[in-house]
Structure 1
């Protein structure tokens, strides 16, 4: 389709079918990589990118570069692997394999570079591979082979040249460790019926396929894969395609899988396990796989129920049939990511696929619906059509993050999940995109090279900002036109009758993709003047503004320059203006003080006149504008006064997130007491409301989002000391301790109850929680307990818990960094976690630093409370002391931590006293 995307020759004949993905693809191509990128290079170079350390000088040899040369193109692989699920004589778990790749020479060369990492390759006449020509072609002899370990290449130098247009076969045999490092081809361990079970599974994204077999491991290097797995008789093998099973005489099974579609190496997947499955009797071949006990307990039923309708939704949405003959989804005990969109064999953490109505909360159910929808969206966009390089990862993940809500809404139409994008994408993206260390959606190719840099692309910007910007596109085009655009060219979208755009979609979106950050739109209702300004830099966007005046929705306005007069926005003293109606755009809104006052009056007199999502917007915009010193902090605090009357989840969640930021800033100062007293007053009516409708907390609310609000009511009421709250939670937990086999606490409320009771208790409560965690057979329940154990106020228990994160027998490797984050969220645990991470930095960096998507979160979690000059000096010392070891995929997170801490120090100096006085004046 063009530079930035790669479509295999095998799929080229399906161009009309692939038009189903055209809109986002064409936007990306025309905006990011066509002439606009070069045209705007001078305007958007240094200003639009985050600081990048200077690249050290290297030789100009091809093997000293991270990108493969453009001389070879793979066509297909034949890969046979045999994982051993018992230790060998050396006490190791290993796998053996043979692999052949047929490739075509594109440009004359005497060099073959193929990725290979941590594989022990067999020697053939002193070389690590064999090379033969195809179709009568004679291959040049191999001169020498060696490994470039830093760039993870097997280097093969030839005596002569490969000929353009000719095909060759490269053959290798190898042994690898089936380690428990959550990368490549690895092992997972779990206990079932008192027996330790071992399974072999994969995670290839982003740069780990090379740990399973030698391959051209770049997303644009698509090929067909023929996979064969040899495994024990009592196990089952799965891969991307359907299988043919042959039982050998040597008491093993050989499972031969059909050829895949032409696809990227990062989407290859295979699993060897004794798992069971449930299936849907339909043409899609939907199966849900998990541990035997989980399947027998019905934990896969919900995922099976929603998979079929979500697939049907995306078939209609893309106007293309599901491209494969089967859809396997498997829940894994050890998995570093939340889920992975392997084509035809989607892998998940257990918490993202398994649901037990007896122990799983409403939030667990919603997470499964959105994650399954996200991964299935990739079966078309991301798998069928793929970005050529990781600098444009946002196209894959931003699109899937946007449409996951559409798929989930189709499967669960009463949940109203689409409105929650404001919480889980838009506001989350704002928090990161307001920093100087942010970056544009599309980064320069040269900024994304190493595995660590690639891992950093799996960020809030790629996922959440990408989703928010695409949602804005669908809003200003309207959803029907956006959907129509999936099957036509961008030019046709621009020319659709009824669509009136000031510029082409190409030109509009250019500003949002190539520039970092977002605008603050300021509306002066005294004059009607509307202006825009970036938080930090001198940018300009084409901004679509949907708005209302008092009770009336107005025509959409386009702000195309820094400032413009829009007379209808000039209002009388009894009218107010509300911009970004339904939060359709990726921008914040500020007003003149008079309009702010009228909006606050409206909230307090009749808040329901303002749409639910806009009530959340007003809260979040006000607090963040105040944090940027654009408006007064007391104005932001006043937006919370109306919460006495609020019963909806989305505004309460937006308020709580901003107030939690205040908790982190002030829970070690005199402001905290006054703030607690004020919040106790504000949440008390909500707590009493749910006490009434739940028959004194004996039931839960019937509405989907009402159940989320009920959790907020209990959590905030208990944390602020509302009378009767803590007595409830502790009595429930005590009752469970007295009868461990009968937990009557509702799953929705367990996280709050567990945390509150363990925080109030001592060793006895903690040990009970630990025992229940070890016995938990439902992953969602285990997460609730693992989080709650970090709530204790006993320092030695927290220190012991931190030590457990370095012992995979106690805390799985996939959960270590998040467990440390839970401990750091505890005011007592934060300094302990910070000291622990610093003391063991080499260990954590070696284990997670170069590729784990969760590693950056570790740094942000343990530094989240930092707001003093001393803590800033500690951060900078940490950065200096570990410069030699490095920070890997956490490099940007460390820079953001320094930036955030610096900003908080300045803000506190200016605002601490007025905040204290406001809370004192508003407290009972």
Structure 2
């Protein structure tokens, strides 16, 4: 599953009434505004819930009457399955109804069998089942039979244990080890709209409204569709049949083998049967029923590759790139791992509504449709990049996750980090013009290194016993797993060398195909590859080195003192006074691989094994030393003050002698070290002085990312004017550089990364008041307003130009943008998404108030876009109070749309409050926390607590830095010197 995040290339993804009861999992929560009214409306709410339960036939929870002990918990009270039974294969038949029943619900019915082997003697069967109405037969919820001559015990009693999501079956005698049995159940469930389990999604085709049924079972929602042993290590073969209306297409993991017309209870329907799957985990099972068309290719022998979508989108050929890029990516991955793609078909389905995550269901990958579309004429360059990376990520899961699967969710990074990292490796080979390995080193450090420098960070791999409940498992799908995992794997590949790294992966994947693993299995195979390579010398075993990086939170800052040659390390925290609350995650020094250069010449790698050591080669009084060359390791670097001076001088004299990735890391490390009070803020600012000569994306991106904090803290203060003057001086040469290479903005840069840089320069130049930029964007936007059918703005610049033009304009420009936003509300290009973010750029408060009002109108806005749109408004200094007021006053409605414990709501709170830096805002946050706490909204409460801590940190930082920062910008904005020396 790909975690879509905000970055230069990612940025894609993200109640009805306050008087309704919110249902999350097995708990019903009242909306916040109901708290004082609860005693009045509770009877009606309970009656409504009871009516729905009756309509669906939900079975009561018998947890309270099930056998209990006061000592050890019973097996059904534990969240992990006992090791007594092992599934072999399932037979599943499902019939999703794409029209409402007499109770106004969309339902699915079905029946299934699971054949399993008894591993240890037991008189108890536990099988996962949640939110299903299991239809009783002979007084029980399931039927048990013996296989191969085994005699099945009779069933004593059955019940649903809702807390742990089990169907519990107690037997009158014991199952025999080595014998096989079959469990049959018949059930009914609801096709909900919550984008999990088996759900429905609505879309329009012409004037006709249509429904598609689709599944998303990761990590623990297979149990909501059919009873199953829902743990990743319990793999089985799945035999699937789907009943559906005539003319609809039914898809599952395997190739369809037969479609027959049948009659059931007077209904004339079709039944599609599929080949048995490969041995796989329950979370990878997938179903789609739709009225879609498809495009296909047979370019890979014995593998049919199809892309399914709404007809209008395929007619426009918007899926051609995604389909065509699949072939070289898949072919290259096969060669990389020396393992042939094990299936005979690979379907990719574009769904109108889907969660933020494309999902790697084996043989039937599902996406939110906007993720897959690319139009060479209309789409920005980032769409081509993102489609490539996204398709590559899901393909990489064939080997990492599907073929070889984690044993338990505490090691989710074995699936997700590998899929993410290998998606960049393979895409960089297939599309070298995109500079994707550099883009990886731009995106992922920005996403994770700040978060991982907090005291509440987590390790990549948690102890297995700490990940038990579905909620615990859901918390593993974080940026730590994805982004930190990518950077740690990048470091591993670098110090092993790519050749040894891939050799170890090949033997690992081959040995554990169709099985499950822990990190120890991976380390073993990588160590074997190291032992067979005389070129690679390590100071410790692969496992000893890597366990320190995955089993403890955070990362080190390595300090190099060039006056003595001393190298030291310590845990890097942005708050120098913070105390790690969970020291068990921080026991050992990291074993740090340090690549480095001296005055432009690369040196031999140095390993820092202990807290400190001495490297005589780094001792110098004249030459500059640069460590962590091209960010080959996951750590920050600090130097003695003289070496900082030498590096800054070198940047001013000839910055190209230092690689672009390392120039970016100098800037980013310096600003973060300043935030942590390791070096001065003015020293960090000095790393930006050479930018007048910089033309590459990564250093500029690092500078802009860090200077954003200065904008947030000082945009309303006396610092802002001299800061604008300084940045205008720095950006003007870059602005004119792009004016020249594009023939006065009429051509598009040929270099992939230059397109990003060009967009950045327009954004910054207009923000700091460069008149040439303001004239350019208003002229472009005005020309478009004059002829809406012809947009003169290059696709890769649209969002930045729209934003800058709307910031300069007024109601007329905003109304035009709103009209275009509504006219282009489709998934064929990012015009819709670009305009949605740009409408938040206006500096007219009443237009921002209108915009947030529109968000709550389902006729004007998709409800699941509320959080992202509100965040856009908050990023505007004028819009911040508008967005904050909206969040507080409309929390009930917003939380109803997402679910009260969703990650989107927690992220929304943190984004809307990122500028807060006053005692008044602390008071407002504390009041909001109290309301959320009374409502029991734990995730939102934690987010508000983080916002309070951050606001207090902002207050302190401004007090400590305002005077010196204002003085520095005032001086540097007028000085002409560019060599970085004061």
Cα 1:297–1:668 shift into 2, 3 Å: same
Residues 859-918 of structure 1, C-alpha deviations (whole Å, 9 max, x = no match): 332232233333334444434432354446667655544443343333222122211211
1:565 is aligned to 2:601: no
Q: Structure 1: where are the runs of 5+ without partners?
A: 1-56
Q: Work out whether 1:833 is the aligned partner of 2:886.
A: no
Aligned to 1:432: 451
Q: Offset at 1:851?
A: 7.2
Contact 1:455-1:853 within 8 A present in 2 as well: no
Separation in structure 1 between the aligned mates of residue 933 and residue 169 of structure 2, nearest angstrom: 34
Q: Is the 8 A contact 1:73 1:105 kept in 2?
A: yes
TM-score by length of 2: 0.85
2:262/2:271 contact within 8 Å kept: no
Q: Which moved more, 1:904-913 or 1:201-210?
A: 904-913
Query: Is 1:223 aligned to residue 272 of structure 2?
Result: no
Secondary structure of 1:189's aligned partner: strand
**Cα 1:227–1:898 shift into 2, 3 Å:** farther
Aligned residue for 1:478?
Answer: 497
- Residue 235 of structure 1: how far off its partner (Å): 1.7
Distance 1:160 1:362 in 2: 65
1:438-487 CA-partner distances (Å, limit 9, x unpaired): 01111122322333322221111101111111111111111112122223
Q: Which residue of 1 aligns with 2:567?
A: 530
Q: Cα distance, 1:334 vs. partner?
A: 0.8
Match of 1:907 among 939, 952, 957: 957
**Alpha carbons of structure 1 residues 370 and 760: separation in structure 2 relative to 1, 3 Å:** same
Cross-structure match for 1:150: 163
Shift of 1:383: 0.8
Give how far 1:677 is off: 2.2
The corresponding residue for 1:264 is: 281
Residue aligning to 1:686:
734
Deviates more, 1:157-166 or 1:549-558: 157-166
Find the aligned partners of 1:344 and 1:792 in 2 and give their Cα distance.
45
1:511 aligns with 2:548: yes
Change (3 A) 1:859 1:165: farther
CA shift in 2, pair 1:556/1:890, >3 Å = farther
The 3 A distance-change label for structure 1 pair 155 and 879 is farther
Q: Does 1:923 align with 2:936?
A: no
Using a 3 Å threshold, how does the CA distance of structure 1 residues 805 and 307 change in structure 2: closer, same or farther?
Answer: same
How far off its partner does 1:843 sit? 4.9
1:540 pairs with 2:557: no
Distance in 2 (CA, whole Å) between partners of 1:430 and 1:509 is 18
Distance, in Å, in 2 between the alignment partners of 1:120 and 1:847 is 26
Match of 1:337 in 2: 356
2-structure distance, mates of 1:852, 1:341: 22
Deviation at 1:209, TM superposition (A): 1.6
Alignment of 1:97-136 (within 5 A): 97-136=110-149
1:337–1:853: 8 Å Cα contact kept in structure 2? no
Question: Shift of the alpha carbon at 1:533?
Answer: 1.2
Once residues 890 and 220 of structure 1 are traced to their aligned partners in structure 2, the CA distance between those partners, rounded to angstroms, is: 33
In the superposition, relative to structure 1, how do residues 412 and 93 fare at CA in structure 2: closer, same or farther (>3 Å)? same
The Cα of 1:321 is off from its aligned counterpart by: 0.7
2:292 maps to which residue?
Answer: 275
The answer (yes or no) to whether the contact 1:186–1:202 under 8 Å persists in 2 is: yes
Query: Contact between 1:241 and 1:344, CA under 8 Å: does it hold in 2?
Result: yes
- Kindly indicate whether residue 862 of structure 2 is the aligned counterpart of residue 812 of structure 1: yes
Query: Against the structure 1 CA distance between its residues 234 and 556, is the aligned structure 2 distance closer, same or farther, given a 3 Å change threshold?
Result: same
- Secondary structure of the structure 1 residue equivalent to 2:933: coil
Distance 1:246 1:704, change over 3 A: same
Q: Residue 183 in 1 paired to residue 196 in 2? A: yes
Are residues 623 and 377 of structure 1, via their aligned partners in 2, closer, same or farther at CA, if it must alter by over 3 Å?
same
Q: Is the 1:849–1:889 contact (alpha carbons within 8 Å) kept by the matching residues of 2?
A: no
Question: Aligned pair count?
Answer: 867
**Residues 932, 940 of structure 2: 8 Å contact kept:** no
Going from structure 1 to structure 2, the CA distance change for 1:746 and 1:231 (only over 3 Å counts) comes to same
Q: Hey, what's the Cα distance between the residues in 1 that align with 2:820 and 2:324?
A: 30
Contact 1:718 1:756 in 2 (8 A): yes
Which deviations, in whole Å up to 9, do the C-alpha atoms of 1:561-608 show, x marking residues without a partner?
1111111111132x1001111110111011111111111111111111
Structure 1 CA distance, aligned partners of 2:800 and 2:218? 35
**Among candidates 587, 595, 601, match of residue 552 of structure 1:** 601
1:700 to 742, 748, 758: 748
The separation in 2 between residues aligned to 1:173 and 1:807, in whole angstroms, is 40
Report if the CA contact (8 A) 2:378-2:829 is conserved.
no
Distance, in Å, in 1 between the alignment partners of 2:647 and 2:946 is 34
Local SS of the residue matching 1:817:
helix
After alignment, is 912-921 or 631-640 more displaced? 912-921
Per the TM alignment, residue 809 of structure 1 is displaced from its structure 2 partner at its CA by 4.7
Which residue number in structure 2 is paired with residue 50 of structure 1? none
Query: Which residue is 1:419 aligned to?
Result: 438
Could you tell me how far apart the structure 2 residues matched to 1:891 and 1:322 are? 46
**2:333 is matched with which residue?**
314
Q: Specify the SS of the correspondent of 2:295.
A: strand
Deviations 1:292-327 (A, max 9, x none): 111111111111221111111111221111121111
Deviation at 1:147, TM superposition (A): 2.7
* 1:721-732 correspondence to structure 2 within 5 Å: 721-732=769-780
The normalised TM-score by structure 1 is 0.90
CA change 1:515–1:92 in 2 (3 A) is same
Q: SS at 1:867's partner residue?
A: coil
Distance 1:204 1:301 in 2: 28
> C-alpha distance in 2, partners of 1:710/1:698?
13
1:192 offset after TM fit, Å? 2.3
Checking the alignment, whether the CA contact within 8 Å between 2:774 and 2:808 is kept in structure 1 is no
Conservation of the 8 A alpha-carbon contact between 2:229 and 2:282: yes
2:536 aligned with 1:499: yes
Structure 2: gaps of 5 or more residues: 1-69, 508-524, 574-579, 581-585, 975-982
Q: CA RMSD in A?
A: 2.3
Larger deviation, residues 710-719 vs 489-498: 489-498
CA 1:831–1:59 in structure 2 vs 1: closer, same or farther (change >3 Å)? farther
Alignment partners' CA distance in 2, 1:812 and 1:59? 48
Instruction: Tell me if the contact between 1:131 and 1:139 (Cα under 8 Å) persists in the aligned partners.
Output: yes
| Contact in 2 for aligned 1:306/1:369 (Cα 8 Å) | yes
CA apart distance, 1:781: 2.5
| Distance in structure 1 (CA, Å) of the matches to 2:227 and 2:818 | 43
Matches within 5 A, 1:284-683: 284-488=303-507, 489-495=525-531, 496-536=533-573, 539-573=588-622, 575-683=623-731
In 2, distance between residues paired with 1:820 and 1:64?
A: 41
Task: String of CA shifts for 1:739-781, please: whole Å, max 9, x gaps.
Answer: 3332232111111122223333444433433333333231522
Tell me the distance in 1 between the aligned counterparts of 2:120 and 2:627: 56
CA displacement at 1:418 relative to structure 2: 0.7
Aligned pair partner of 1:745 in 772, 790, 793: 793
Matched residues in 1 for 2:853 and 2:257: separation?
46
Helix, strand or coil at the partner of 2:818: helix
**Residue in 2 aligned with 1:33?**
none
Compare 278-287 and 852-861 and name the one that shifted more. 852-861
| Post-superposition offset of 1:519 | 0.8
Which residue does 2:928 correspond to in 1?
Answer: 878
- In structure 2, what is the Cα distance between the partners aligned to 1:358 and 1:564? 56
Contact 1:181 1:847 in 2 (8 A): no
Contact 1:334–1:812 (CA under 8 A) maintained in structure 2: no
- Is the CA contact (8 Å cut-off) linking 1:70 and 1:106 kept in structure 2? yes
Q: Deviations over 1:248-296 (max 9, x none)?
A: 1544221111111111111111111122222222222111222211111
1:322 match: secondary structure: coil
User: In structure 2, what is the Cα distance between the partners aligned to 1:851 and 1:387?
Assistant: 26
Q: Tell me: CA distance 1:849–1:561, structure 2 relative to 1, closer, same or farther (3 Å).
A: farther
SS across alignment from 1:486: helix
| Per-residue CA distance 1:348-382 (angstroms, 9 max, x = gap) | 12232111123211111111111111111111111
